Structure 1
Amino acid sequence: MNKGILYIVLSGLMFLIVNVFVKTLGAGSDALLPGLQVYPVHEIVLFRSIISLIISYAIIKRKNLPVFGVNKKWLIIRGICGVTALTSFFYTLNHLPIAIAVTVQYLSPVFTVFFTYLFLKEKVTKKQWLFSLIALTGVFIIGISKYLSSNTKVSEIDPIWVGLGIFSALSAGVAYLAIIKCKETDSPINVVIYFPMVAFPIMLVLSFFEFVVPVGIEWFILLIIGVFTQFAQIFMTKALHYGPAATVMPFKYLGSIYALMVGMFIFGEFISFYAYLGITIVLIGILGNTMLKKAKKA
Protein backbone atom coordinates (compact mmCIF):
# COMPACT_ATOMS: atom_id res chain seq x y z
CA MET A 1 0.00 0.00 0.00
CA ASN A 2 1.13 3.56 -0.73
CA LYS A 3 2.71 5.00 2.44
CA GLY A 4 0.71 8.20 2.12
CA ILE A 5 -2.57 6.28 1.97
CA LEU A 6 -1.59 4.11 4.96
CA TYR A 7 -0.74 7.17 7.03
CA ILE A 8 -3.98 8.99 6.17
CA VAL A 9 -6.10 5.94 7.07
CA LEU A 10 -4.30 5.54 10.42
CA SER A 11 -4.72 9.26 11.03
CA GLY A 12 -8.46 9.03 10.34
CA LEU A 13 -8.97 6.13 12.75
CA MET A 14 -7.10 7.95 15.52
CA PHE A 15 -9.08 11.13 14.93
CA LEU A 16 -12.30 9.08 15.17
CA ILE A 17 -11.34 7.80 18.62
CA VAL A 18 -10.40 11.32 19.69
CA ASN A 19 -13.72 12.70 18.43
CA VAL A 20 -15.68 10.10 20.38
CA PHE A 21 -13.87 10.94 23.63
CA VAL A 22 -14.08 14.70 23.06
CA LYS A 23 -17.83 14.45 22.52
CA THR A 24 -18.14 12.22 25.60
CA LEU A 25 -16.36 14.73 27.85
CA GLY A 26 -17.40 18.00 26.20
CA ALA A 27 -21.08 17.27 25.59
CA GLY A 28 -21.64 15.44 28.86
CA SER A 29 -22.78 12.29 27.06
CA ASP A 30 -23.30 9.17 29.18
CA ALA A 31 -23.61 6.96 26.11
CA LEU A 32 -20.04 5.68 26.26
CA LEU A 33 -19.05 5.95 29.93
CA PRO A 34 -21.69 7.15 32.41
CA GLY A 35 -20.89 9.49 35.29
CA LEU A 36 -18.09 11.54 33.71
CA GLN A 37 -17.69 15.24 34.39
CA VAL A 38 -18.38 17.80 31.66
CA TYR A 39 -15.24 19.61 30.50
CA PRO A 40 -14.97 23.01 28.78
CA VAL A 41 -13.45 22.80 25.30
CA HIS A 42 -10.48 25.01 26.17
CA GLU A 43 -9.44 22.61 28.95
CA ILE A 44 -9.56 19.62 26.60
CA VAL A 45 -7.40 21.56 24.12
CA LEU A 46 -5.05 22.53 26.98
CA PHE A 47 -4.41 18.91 27.98
CA ARG A 48 -4.03 17.98 24.31
CA SER A 49 -1.44 20.75 23.81
CA ILE A 50 0.57 19.82 26.92
CA ILE A 51 0.86 16.19 25.81
CA SER A 52 1.63 17.21 22.23
CA LEU A 53 4.31 19.67 23.34
CA ILE A 54 6.08 17.03 25.47
CA ILE A 55 6.00 14.36 22.75
CA SER A 56 6.96 16.74 19.93
CA TYR A 57 9.85 18.28 21.86
CA ALA A 58 11.21 14.84 22.78
CA ILE A 59 11.11 13.70 19.13
CA ILE A 60 12.72 16.92 17.89
CA LYS A 61 15.56 16.66 20.42
CA ARG A 62 16.09 12.97 19.57
CA LYS A 63 16.33 13.83 15.87
CA ASN A 64 18.51 16.86 16.63
CA LEU A 65 16.21 19.20 14.70
CA PRO A 66 15.86 22.95 15.27
CA VAL A 67 12.93 23.43 17.67
CA PHE A 68 11.54 26.45 15.83
CA GLY A 69 12.01 25.00 12.37
CA VAL A 70 13.05 26.78 9.19
CA ASN A 71 10.03 28.34 7.51
CA LYS A 72 8.91 30.18 10.64
CA LYS A 73 6.33 32.41 8.96
CA TRP A 74 4.27 29.52 7.62
CA LEU A 75 4.88 27.39 10.71
CA ILE A 76 3.34 30.15 12.85
CA ILE A 77 0.41 30.44 10.43
CA ARG A 78 -0.03 26.65 10.64
CA GLY A 79 -0.03 26.86 14.45
CA ILE A 80 -2.56 29.69 14.71
CA CYS A 81 -4.93 28.27 12.11
CA GLY A 82 -4.57 24.74 13.47
CA VAL A 83 -5.55 25.86 16.97
CA THR A 84 -8.47 27.87 15.62
CA ALA A 85 -9.69 24.97 13.49
CA LEU A 86 -9.42 22.32 16.21
CA THR A 87 -11.00 24.44 18.94
CA SER A 88 -13.92 25.38 16.69
CA PHE A 89 -14.32 21.76 15.62
CA PHE A 90 -14.45 20.54 19.24
CA TYR A 91 -17.28 23.01 19.88
CA THR A 92 -19.23 21.68 16.89
CA LEU A 93 -18.71 18.10 18.10
CA ASN A 94 -20.48 19.05 21.32
CA HIS A 95 -23.46 20.67 19.59
CA LEU A 96 -23.99 18.68 16.38
CA PRO A 97 -24.33 14.98 15.51
CA ILE A 98 -20.80 13.65 15.12
CA ALA A 99 -21.35 12.71 11.44
CA ILE A 100 -22.43 16.28 10.61
CA ALA A 101 -19.56 17.90 12.52
CA VAL A 102 -16.99 15.65 10.83
CA THR A 103 -18.43 16.08 7.32
CA VAL A 104 -18.63 19.87 7.51
CA GLN A 105 -15.04 19.98 8.77
CA TYR A 106 -14.04 17.99 5.67
CA LEU A 107 -14.72 21.12 3.62
CA SER A 108 -11.15 22.17 4.40
CA PRO A 109 -9.73 20.86 1.06
CA VAL A 110 -12.27 23.02 -0.79
CA PHE A 111 -10.88 26.07 0.95
CA THR A 112 -7.33 24.80 0.38
CA VAL A 113 -8.04 24.85 -3.38
CA PHE A 114 -9.02 28.51 -3.08
CA PHE A 115 -6.01 29.41 -0.94
CA THR A 116 -3.51 27.61 -3.20
CA TYR A 117 -5.04 29.54 -6.10
CA LEU A 118 -4.71 32.79 -4.14
CA PHE A 119 -1.24 32.34 -2.60
CA LEU A 120 0.52 29.71 -4.71
CA LYS A 121 -0.99 30.81 -8.03
CA GLU A 122 -2.06 27.24 -8.83
CA LYS A 123 -4.50 27.02 -11.70
CA VAL A 124 -8.05 26.06 -10.74
CA THR A 125 -10.32 24.76 -13.50
CA LYS A 126 -14.00 25.58 -13.94
CA LYS A 127 -14.84 22.00 -12.97
CA GLN A 128 -12.97 22.40 -9.70
CA TRP A 129 -14.94 25.55 -8.92
CA LEU A 130 -18.12 23.64 -9.81
CA PHE A 131 -17.34 20.77 -7.43
CA SER A 132 -16.46 23.29 -4.72
CA LEU A 133 -19.87 24.88 -5.20
CA ILE A 134 -21.50 21.43 -5.02
CA ALA A 135 -19.78 20.77 -1.67
CA LEU A 136 -20.92 24.11 -0.27
CA THR A 137 -24.45 23.40 -1.50
CA GLY A 138 -24.38 20.17 0.48
CA VAL A 139 -23.44 22.07 3.63
CA PHE A 140 -26.27 24.53 2.99
CA ILE A 141 -28.73 21.61 2.79
CA ILE A 142 -27.36 20.24 6.07
CA GLY A 143 -27.77 23.67 7.65
CA ILE A 144 -31.46 23.96 6.73
CA SER A 145 -32.29 20.24 7.10
CA LYS A 146 -34.16 20.76 10.36
CA TYR A 147 -36.55 23.11 8.55
CA LEU A 148 -37.12 20.61 5.75
CA SER A 149 -37.88 17.55 7.88
CA SER A 150 -41.07 16.99 9.85
CA ASN A 151 -39.61 14.05 11.78
CA THR A 152 -39.28 15.14 15.43
CA LYS A 153 -37.19 12.09 16.37
CA VAL A 154 -34.07 13.14 14.42
CA SER A 155 -31.16 14.89 16.13
CA GLU A 156 -31.14 18.68 16.19
CA ILE A 157 -28.91 20.44 13.65
CA ASP A 158 -28.51 24.13 14.47
CA PRO A 159 -27.32 26.17 11.45
CA ILE A 160 -25.30 28.40 13.80
CA TRP A 161 -23.09 25.46 14.76
CA VAL A 162 -22.91 24.40 11.11
CA GLY A 163 -21.59 27.90 10.42
CA LEU A 164 -18.91 27.45 13.09
CA GLY A 165 -18.03 24.16 11.40
CA ILE A 166 -17.51 26.02 8.11
CA PHE A 167 -15.23 28.49 9.91
CA SER A 168 -13.30 25.53 11.37
CA ALA A 169 -12.90 24.05 7.88
CA LEU A 170 -11.75 27.39 6.48
CA SER A 171 -9.10 27.66 9.22
CA ALA A 172 -8.01 24.07 8.57
CA GLY A 173 -7.73 24.92 4.86
CA VAL A 174 -5.17 27.59 5.67
CA ALA A 175 -3.35 25.15 7.98
CA TYR A 176 -3.14 22.60 5.14
CA LEU A 177 -1.77 25.31 2.86
CA ALA A 178 0.90 26.02 5.47
CA ILE A 179 1.79 22.31 5.64
CA ILE A 180 2.24 22.30 1.87
CA LYS A 181 4.40 25.43 2.06
CA CYS A 182 6.62 23.76 4.69
CA LYS A 183 6.86 20.44 2.86
CA GLU A 184 10.28 21.14 1.38
CA THR A 185 11.79 22.97 4.36
CA ASP A 186 10.63 21.34 7.60
CA SER A 187 10.20 17.92 9.15
CA PRO A 188 6.59 16.84 9.89
CA ILE A 189 7.29 17.01 13.64
CA ASN A 190 8.41 20.65 13.31
CA VAL A 191 5.08 21.38 11.64
CA VAL A 192 3.17 19.57 14.38
CA ILE A 193 4.88 21.25 17.37
CA TYR A 194 3.65 24.69 16.37
CA PHE A 195 0.11 23.68 17.37
CA PRO A 196 0.91 23.22 21.09
CA MET A 197 3.30 26.17 21.11
CA VAL A 198 0.41 28.41 20.08
CA ALA A 199 -2.37 26.59 21.96
CA PHE A 200 -0.73 26.17 25.38
CA PRO A 201 -0.50 29.82 26.52
CA ILE A 202 -3.95 30.71 25.17
CA MET A 203 -5.75 27.72 26.69
CA LEU A 204 -3.86 28.11 29.98
CA VAL A 205 -5.26 31.62 30.42
CA LEU A 206 -8.80 30.48 29.53
CA SER A 207 -8.55 27.52 31.91
CA PHE A 208 -7.62 29.86 34.77
CA PHE A 209 -11.21 31.14 34.71
CA GLU A 210 -12.90 27.75 34.26
CA PHE A 211 -11.19 24.48 35.15
CA VAL A 212 -12.53 21.02 35.99
CA VAL A 213 -10.20 18.81 38.06
CA PRO A 214 -10.05 15.35 36.40
CA VAL A 215 -10.81 12.28 38.50
CA GLY A 216 -10.31 8.57 37.95
CA ILE A 217 -10.61 7.34 34.37
CA GLU A 218 -10.97 10.93 33.11
CA TRP A 219 -7.18 11.29 33.38
CA PHE A 220 -6.79 8.30 31.06
CA ILE A 221 -9.33 9.69 28.57
CA LEU A 222 -7.57 13.07 28.45
CA LEU A 223 -4.26 11.24 27.93
CA ILE A 224 -5.76 9.24 25.05
CA ILE A 225 -7.11 12.46 23.46
CA GLY A 226 -3.67 14.08 23.66
CA VAL A 227 -1.61 11.11 22.49
CA PHE A 228 -3.95 10.01 19.69
CA THR A 229 -4.41 13.55 18.36
CA GLN A 230 -0.64 13.98 18.38
CA PHE A 231 0.01 10.87 16.32
CA ALA A 232 -3.01 11.52 14.09
CA GLN A 233 -1.48 14.92 13.26
CA ILE A 234 1.94 13.35 12.63
CA PHE A 235 0.45 10.66 10.37
CA MET A 236 -1.62 13.24 8.46
CA THR A 237 1.46 15.43 7.96
CA LYS A 238 3.51 12.40 6.89
CA ALA A 239 0.75 11.44 4.43
CA LEU A 240 1.03 14.85 2.76
CA HIS A 241 4.82 14.47 2.70
CA TYR A 242 4.84 10.94 1.25
CA GLY A 243 2.18 11.37 -1.42
CA PRO A 244 0.30 14.00 -3.42
CA ALA A 245 -2.71 15.37 -1.55
CA ALA A 246 -4.93 14.44 -4.49
CA THR A 247 -3.96 10.78 -4.05
CA VAL A 248 -4.12 10.39 -0.28
CA MET A 249 -6.88 12.78 0.82
CA PRO A 250 -9.87 10.80 -0.57
CA PHE A 251 -9.13 8.09 1.99
CA LYS A 252 -9.57 10.64 4.76
CA TYR A 253 -13.26 10.91 3.94
CA LEU A 254 -13.92 7.37 5.10
CA GLY A 255 -14.24 9.18 8.42
CA SER A 256 -17.75 10.34 7.50
CA ILE A 257 -18.89 6.72 7.24
CA TYR A 258 -17.20 5.82 10.53
CA ALA A 259 -18.80 8.86 12.19
CA LEU A 260 -22.28 7.91 10.93
CA MET A 261 -21.98 4.47 12.51
CA VAL A 262 -20.51 5.82 15.76
CA GLY A 263 -23.24 8.45 15.97
CA MET A 264 -26.00 5.88 15.59
CA PHE A 265 -24.63 3.02 17.69
CA ILE A 266 -22.84 4.93 20.48
CA PHE A 267 -24.55 8.31 20.79
CA GLY A 268 -28.00 7.36 19.47
CA GLU A 269 -27.93 10.14 16.88
CA PHE A 270 -30.36 9.84 13.98
CA ILE A 271 -30.36 12.43 11.24
CA SER A 272 -32.99 13.22 8.64
CA PHE A 273 -33.04 12.21 4.99
CA TYR A 274 -32.10 15.78 4.05
CA ALA A 275 -29.04 15.70 6.33
CA TYR A 276 -27.96 12.41 4.70
CA LEU A 277 -28.51 14.05 1.31
CA GLY A 278 -26.37 17.02 2.35
CA ILE A 279 -23.56 14.73 3.55
CA THR A 280 -23.65 12.82 0.26
CA ILE A 281 -23.52 16.03 -1.79
CA VAL A 282 -20.62 17.38 0.30
CA LEU A 283 -18.62 14.19 -0.24
CA ILE A 284 -19.39 14.21 -3.99
CA GLY A 285 -18.12 17.78 -4.21
CA ILE A 286 -14.97 17.11 -2.19
CA LEU A 287 -14.09 13.83 -3.91
CA GLY A 288 -14.82 15.28 -7.35
CA ASN A 289 -12.53 18.20 -6.63
CA THR A 290 -9.80 15.88 -5.38
CA MET A 291 -10.04 13.62 -8.43
CA LEU A 292 -9.77 16.62 -10.74
CA LYS A 293 -6.61 17.75 -8.94
CA LYS A 294 -5.17 14.26 -9.32
CA ALA A 295 -5.99 14.15 -13.06
CA LYS A 296 -4.49 17.60 -13.57
CA LYS A 297 -1.19 16.49 -12.02
CA ALA A 298 -1.05 13.21 -13.95
Structure 2
Amino acid sequence: MSATKNMIISTVFFAIMQVCVKAIKHIPVFEIIVFRSLVIIAICCVFFRRHRISPWGNNKRLLIARGVAGSIALLLFFYTLQHIPLAYATTIQYLSPIFTVIIAGVFLKEYATLSQWLFLAIAFLGIVCIQGFDVRVSLFMASIGVFSALMSATAYNIIRVLKDENPLVIVFYFPFVASIIYMPLAIIYWETPQSKDWFFLIAAGVATYLAHTYMTKAYQEEKASNIVNLKYLGTVFSLVFGYVLFNESIVFMSFIGMLLIVFSALGTQLLRKPKSA
Protein backbone atom coordinates (compact mmCIF):
# COMPACT_ATOMS: atom_id res chain seq x y z
CA MET A 1 0.00 0.00 0.00
CA SER A 2 1.33 3.49 -0.86
CA ALA A 3 2.39 6.07 1.74
CA THR A 4 -0.53 8.27 0.66
CA LYS A 5 -3.14 5.58 1.31
CA ASN A 6 -1.50 4.66 4.61
CA MET A 7 -1.63 8.27 5.80
CA ILE A 8 -5.29 8.74 4.80
CA ILE A 9 -6.33 5.53 6.60
CA SER A 10 -4.33 6.67 9.64
CA THR A 11 -6.15 10.01 9.65
CA VAL A 12 -9.56 8.30 9.65
CA PHE A 13 -8.66 6.16 12.65
CA PHE A 14 -7.22 9.16 14.49
CA ALA A 15 -10.56 10.94 14.03
CA ILE A 16 -12.41 7.92 15.45
CA MET A 17 -10.07 7.91 18.44
CA GLN A 18 -10.77 11.60 19.07
CA VAL A 19 -14.51 10.93 19.09
CA CYS A 20 -14.01 8.20 21.70
CA VAL A 21 -11.98 10.53 23.94
CA LYS A 22 -14.53 13.33 23.57
CA ALA A 23 -17.35 10.94 24.51
CA ILE A 24 -15.76 10.16 27.90
CA LYS A 25 -14.63 13.63 28.96
CA HIS A 26 -15.64 12.86 32.56
CA ILE A 27 -12.77 10.33 32.74
CA PRO A 28 -9.38 11.88 33.73
CA VAL A 29 -6.94 12.24 30.85
CA PHE A 30 -4.24 10.19 32.62
CA GLU A 31 -6.65 7.28 32.98
CA ILE A 32 -7.70 7.40 29.33
CA ILE A 33 -4.07 7.37 28.20
CA VAL A 34 -3.23 4.37 30.40
CA PHE A 35 -6.27 2.34 29.27
CA ARG A 36 -5.57 3.21 25.65
CA SER A 37 -1.93 2.26 26.08
CA LEU A 38 -2.73 -1.10 27.66
CA VAL A 39 -5.06 -2.00 24.78
CA ILE A 40 -2.36 -1.15 22.22
CA ILE A 41 0.31 -3.05 24.17
CA ALA A 42 -1.95 -6.13 24.31
CA ILE A 43 -2.52 -6.02 20.54
CA CYS A 44 1.20 -5.56 19.85
CA CYS A 45 2.11 -8.49 22.11
CA VAL A 46 -0.20 -10.77 20.14
CA PHE A 47 1.61 -9.90 16.90
CA PHE A 48 5.03 -10.07 18.54
CA ARG A 49 4.29 -13.61 19.67
CA ARG A 50 2.73 -14.64 16.36
CA HIS A 51 5.57 -13.33 14.20
CA ARG A 52 8.35 -13.93 16.75
CA ILE A 53 9.45 -10.30 16.82
CA SER A 54 11.44 -8.79 19.69
CA PRO A 55 9.55 -5.74 21.04
CA TRP A 56 12.70 -3.88 22.14
CA GLY A 57 14.06 -2.87 18.72
CA ASN A 58 17.60 -1.75 17.85
CA ASN A 59 17.78 1.99 18.59
CA LYS A 60 16.31 2.02 22.09
CA ARG A 61 17.35 5.59 22.83
CA LEU A 62 15.45 7.03 19.88
CA LEU A 63 12.51 4.71 20.46
CA ILE A 64 12.21 5.97 24.03
CA ALA A 65 12.57 9.58 22.83
CA ARG A 66 9.73 9.01 20.37
CA GLY A 67 7.65 7.60 23.22
CA VAL A 68 8.35 10.55 25.53
CA ALA A 69 7.61 13.18 22.86
CA GLY A 70 4.45 11.36 21.84
CA SER A 71 3.32 10.97 25.46
CA ILE A 72 3.64 14.71 26.15
CA ALA A 73 1.79 15.54 22.93
CA LEU A 74 -0.95 13.03 23.74
CA LEU A 75 -1.59 14.36 27.24
CA LEU A 76 -1.91 17.94 26.05
CA PHE A 77 -4.04 17.00 23.04
CA PHE A 78 -6.46 14.93 25.12
CA TYR A 79 -6.75 17.84 27.56
CA THR A 80 -7.78 20.20 24.76
CA LEU A 81 -10.20 17.59 23.37
CA GLN A 82 -12.03 17.52 26.68
CA HIS A 83 -12.20 21.29 27.16
CA ILE A 84 -12.87 22.85 23.74
CA PRO A 85 -14.93 21.80 20.69
CA LEU A 86 -13.63 18.74 18.82
CA ALA A 87 -12.96 20.52 15.53
CA TYR A 88 -11.07 23.36 17.20
CA ALA A 89 -8.89 21.05 19.30
CA THR A 90 -8.06 19.11 16.15
CA THR A 91 -7.29 22.17 14.03
CA ILE A 92 -4.78 23.44 16.58
CA GLN A 93 -3.18 20.00 16.80
CA TYR A 94 -2.87 19.93 13.01
CA LEU A 95 -0.32 22.69 13.18
CA SER A 96 2.01 19.71 13.64
CA PRO A 97 2.50 19.18 9.87
CA ILE A 98 4.00 22.65 9.61
CA PHE A 99 6.34 21.96 12.53
CA THR A 100 7.11 18.54 11.01
CA VAL A 101 8.33 20.05 7.74
CA ILE A 102 10.40 22.69 9.56
CA ILE A 103 12.06 20.15 11.87
CA ALA A 104 12.67 17.76 8.97
CA GLY A 105 14.42 20.54 7.05
CA VAL A 106 16.60 21.62 9.98
CA PHE A 107 17.61 18.22 11.35
CA LEU A 108 17.06 15.70 8.54
CA LYS A 109 17.91 17.97 5.59
CA GLU A 110 14.63 16.96 3.92
CA TYR A 111 13.79 20.37 2.53
CA ALA A 112 10.29 21.18 1.34
CA THR A 113 9.82 22.63 -2.13
CA LEU A 114 8.34 26.08 -2.72
CA SER A 115 5.06 24.52 -3.89
CA GLN A 116 4.89 22.40 -0.72
CA TRP A 117 5.36 25.48 1.45
CA LEU A 118 2.63 27.21 -0.57
CA PHE A 119 0.20 24.36 0.04
CA LEU A 120 1.15 24.28 3.72
CA ALA A 121 0.31 27.98 3.88
CA ILE A 122 -3.04 27.34 2.18
CA ALA A 123 -3.79 24.55 4.66
CA PHE A 124 -2.91 26.86 7.56
CA LEU A 125 -5.23 29.48 6.10
CA GLY A 126 -7.93 26.82 6.09
CA ILE A 127 -7.29 26.21 9.78
CA VAL A 128 -7.61 29.94 10.45
CA CYS A 129 -10.97 29.97 8.65
CA ILE A 130 -12.19 27.07 10.77
CA GLN A 131 -10.70 28.32 14.01
CA GLY A 132 -11.94 31.86 13.59
CA PHE A 133 -12.25 33.87 16.74
CA ASP A 134 -14.33 31.49 18.86
CA VAL A 135 -14.54 32.67 22.48
CA ARG A 136 -14.64 29.03 23.61
CA VAL A 137 -10.91 28.76 22.84
CA SER A 138 -8.79 30.77 25.30
CA LEU A 139 -5.18 31.79 24.72
CA PHE A 140 -4.17 29.26 27.40
CA MET A 141 -5.93 26.37 25.66
CA ALA A 142 -4.57 27.46 22.27
CA SER A 143 -1.03 27.54 23.70
CA ILE A 144 -1.43 24.02 25.09
CA GLY A 145 -2.60 22.87 21.68
CA VAL A 146 0.33 24.49 19.88
CA PHE A 147 2.89 22.88 22.22
CA SER A 148 1.15 19.54 21.71
CA ALA A 149 1.53 20.00 17.96
CA LEU A 150 5.24 20.77 18.38
CA MET A 151 5.77 17.58 20.40
CA SER A 152 3.83 15.56 17.81
CA ALA A 153 6.05 16.94 15.04
CA THR A 154 9.14 15.94 17.02
CA ALA A 155 7.79 12.40 17.39
CA TYR A 156 6.96 12.15 13.67
CA ASN A 157 10.49 13.13 12.66
CA ILE A 158 11.98 10.59 15.04
CA ILE A 159 9.84 7.97 13.28
CA ARG A 160 11.42 9.07 10.01
CA VAL A 161 14.88 8.48 11.49
CA LEU A 162 13.73 5.05 12.70
CA LYS A 163 12.77 3.94 9.19
CA ASP A 164 14.75 0.70 9.56
CA GLU A 165 12.87 -0.37 12.68
CA ASN A 166 9.87 -2.69 12.50
CA PRO A 167 6.73 -0.46 12.48
CA LEU A 168 5.18 -2.65 15.18
CA VAL A 169 8.12 -1.97 17.50
CA ILE A 170 7.75 1.79 17.02
CA VAL A 171 4.02 1.57 17.68
CA PHE A 172 4.69 -0.50 20.83
CA TYR A 173 7.16 1.91 22.42
CA PHE A 174 4.70 4.82 22.43
CA PRO A 175 2.08 3.22 24.74
CA PHE A 176 4.79 1.38 26.68
CA VAL A 177 6.50 4.65 27.63
CA ALA A 178 3.18 6.46 28.13
CA SER A 179 1.86 3.81 30.51
CA ILE A 180 5.02 4.04 32.63
CA ILE A 181 4.80 7.84 32.80
CA TYR A 182 1.08 8.19 33.49
CA MET A 183 0.18 5.06 35.50
CA PRO A 184 0.90 6.71 38.90
CA LEU A 185 -1.22 9.75 37.99
CA ALA A 186 -4.03 7.52 36.70
CA ILE A 187 -4.13 5.76 40.05
CA ILE A 188 -4.16 9.04 41.99
CA TYR A 189 -6.97 10.55 39.90
CA TRP A 190 -8.85 7.28 39.33
CA GLU A 191 -12.49 7.50 38.19
CA THR A 192 -14.27 4.15 37.85
CA PRO A 193 -15.58 3.82 34.26
CA GLN A 194 -19.28 3.15 33.74
CA SER A 195 -20.56 0.42 31.42
CA LYS A 196 -20.51 2.47 28.19
CA ASP A 197 -17.18 4.04 29.12
CA TRP A 198 -15.45 0.68 28.68
CA PHE A 199 -16.55 0.54 25.05
CA PHE A 200 -15.05 3.95 24.28
CA LEU A 201 -11.84 3.20 26.20
CA ILE A 202 -11.25 -0.04 24.29
CA ALA A 203 -12.34 1.48 20.97
CA ALA A 204 -9.93 4.39 21.50
CA GLY A 205 -7.09 1.92 22.01
CA VAL A 206 -7.91 -0.15 18.92
CA ALA A 207 -8.38 2.93 16.73
CA THR A 208 -5.11 4.39 17.97
CA TYR A 209 -3.23 1.17 17.29
CA LEU A 210 -4.47 1.14 13.69
CA ALA A 211 -3.85 4.87 13.26
CA HIS A 212 -0.26 4.68 14.48
CA THR A 213 0.48 1.54 12.50
CA TYR A 214 -0.57 3.10 9.21
CA MET A 215 1.03 6.46 10.07
CA THR A 216 4.34 4.81 10.96
CA LYS A 217 4.38 2.93 7.64
CA ALA A 218 3.64 6.17 5.79
CA TYR A 219 6.50 8.11 7.42
CA GLN A 220 8.89 5.22 6.86
CA GLU A 221 8.01 4.99 3.17
CA GLU A 222 8.00 8.66 2.19
CA LYS A 223 9.59 12.03 2.97
CA ALA A 224 7.66 13.94 5.63
CA SER A 225 7.10 16.98 3.39
CA ASN A 226 5.49 14.78 0.72
CA ILE A 227 2.70 13.34 2.87
CA VAL A 228 2.33 15.60 5.88
CA ASN A 229 -0.48 17.69 4.36
CA LEU A 230 -2.75 14.65 4.30
CA LYS A 231 -3.04 14.92 8.08
CA TYR A 232 -5.10 18.06 7.51
CA LEU A 233 -7.94 15.87 6.28
CA GLY A 234 -8.44 14.97 9.93
CA THR A 235 -9.82 18.47 10.49
CA VAL A 236 -12.61 17.75 8.02
CA PHE A 237 -13.48 14.49 9.77
CA SER A 238 -13.50 16.24 13.15
CA LEU A 239 -15.82 18.97 11.89
CA VAL A 240 -18.30 16.38 10.63
CA PHE A 241 -18.10 14.21 13.76
CA GLY A 242 -18.37 17.23 16.04
CA TYR A 243 -21.48 18.45 14.25
CA VAL A 244 -23.22 15.06 13.98
CA LEU A 245 -22.30 13.53 17.34
CA PHE A 246 -21.80 16.49 19.68
CA ASN A 247 -24.00 19.21 18.13
CA GLU A 248 -21.00 21.50 17.67
CA SER A 249 -21.85 24.33 15.30
CA ILE A 250 -20.20 24.81 11.92
CA VAL A 251 -20.18 28.27 10.37
CA PHE A 252 -19.79 29.24 6.73
CA MET A 253 -16.09 30.05 7.08
CA SER A 254 -15.53 26.51 8.38
CA PHE A 255 -16.73 25.11 5.05
CA ILE A 256 -14.33 27.47 3.25
CA GLY A 257 -11.57 26.20 5.50
CA MET A 258 -12.47 22.59 4.71
CA LEU A 259 -12.21 23.28 0.99
CA LEU A 260 -8.81 24.94 1.42
CA ILE A 261 -7.52 22.00 3.45
CA VAL A 262 -8.67 19.41 0.92
CA PHE A 263 -7.24 21.50 -1.92
CA SER A 264 -3.91 21.73 -0.07
CA ALA A 265 -3.75 18.00 0.62
CA LEU A 266 -4.58 17.01 -2.94
CA GLY A 267 -2.31 19.65 -4.45
CA THR A 268 0.68 18.48 -2.46
CA GLN A 269 0.19 14.91 -3.65
CA LEU A 270 -0.18 15.91 -7.31
CA LEU A 271 2.95 18.06 -7.35
CA ARG A 272 5.22 16.05 -5.08
CA LYS A 273 8.56 14.73 -6.30
CA PRO A 274 9.01 10.96 -6.67
CA LYS A 275 10.60 9.33 -3.64
CA SER A 276 14.34 9.05 -4.00
CA ALA A 277 15.97 5.67 -3.71
TM-score, normalised by the number of residues in structure 1: 0.80
Can you give the 5+ residue segments of structure 1 that lack an aligned partner in the other structure?
A: 27-37, 148-155
CA distance in 2, matches of 1:139, 1:250: 12
8 Å CA contact 1:110–1:286 kept in 2: the answer is no
Matches within 5 A, 1:1-298: 2-26=1-25, 38-125=26-113, 145-146=133-134, 156-184=136-164, 186-246=165-225, 248-273=227-252, 294-295=272-273
For 1:240, give the aligned amino acid.
Y
Q: Structure 2 vs 1, CA of residues 270 and 226 (structure 1 numbering), >3 Å: closer, same or farther? A: same
8 Å CA contact 1:4–1:242 kept in 2: the answer is yes
Post-superposition shift, 1:241? Answer: 3.2
Larger radius of gyration: 1
CA distance in 2, matches of 1:57, 1:113: 33
Of the structure 1 ranges 56-65 and 132-141, higher mean CA displacement relative to structure 2 is found in: 132-141
Deviations 1:251-295 (CA, angstroms, capped at 9, x unpaired): 443322221111112111114455666666677777767766x23
Across the aligned residues of Structure 1 and Structure 2, the Cα RMSD in angstroms comes to 2.9
State the percentage of identical aligned residues. 37
Deviations 1:115-169 (CA, angstroms, capped at 9, x unpaired): 112211233456655655665566567666136xxxxxxxx23232222111111
8 Å CA contact 1:107–1:135 kept in 2: the answer is no
For 2:45, give the aligned amino acid.
Y
Post-superposition shift, 1:171? Answer: 0.7
Three-state SS of the structure 1 residue aligned to 2:199 is helix
Number of residue pairs matched by the alignment: 276
Three-state SS of the structure 1 residue aligned to 2:133 is helix
8 Å CA contact 1:143–1:159 kept in 2: the answer is no
Can you give the 5+ residue segments of structure 2 that lack an aligned partner in the other structure?
A: none
CA distance in 2, matches of 1:137, 1:288: 15
Post-superposition shift, 1:223? Answer: 1.1
Q: Structure 2 vs 1, CA of residues 128 and 227 (structure 1 numbering), >3 Å: closer, same or farther? A: closer
Q: Structure 2 vs 1, CA of residues 12 and 282 (structure 1 numbering), >3 Å: closer, same or farther? A: closer
Of the structure 1 ranges 64-73 and 111-120, higher mean CA displacement relative to structure 2 is found in: 64-73
For 1:157, give the aligned amino acid.
V
CA distance in 1, matches of 2:18, 2:158: 24
Three-state SS of the structure 1 residue aligned to 2:134 is helix
CA distance in 2, matches of 1:4, 1:297: 10
8 Å CA contact 1:89–1:101 kept in 2: the answer is yes
Q: Structure 2 vs 1, CA of residues 127 and 7 (structure 1 numbering), >3 Å: closer, same or farther? A: closer
TM-score, normalised by the number of residues in structure 2: 0.85
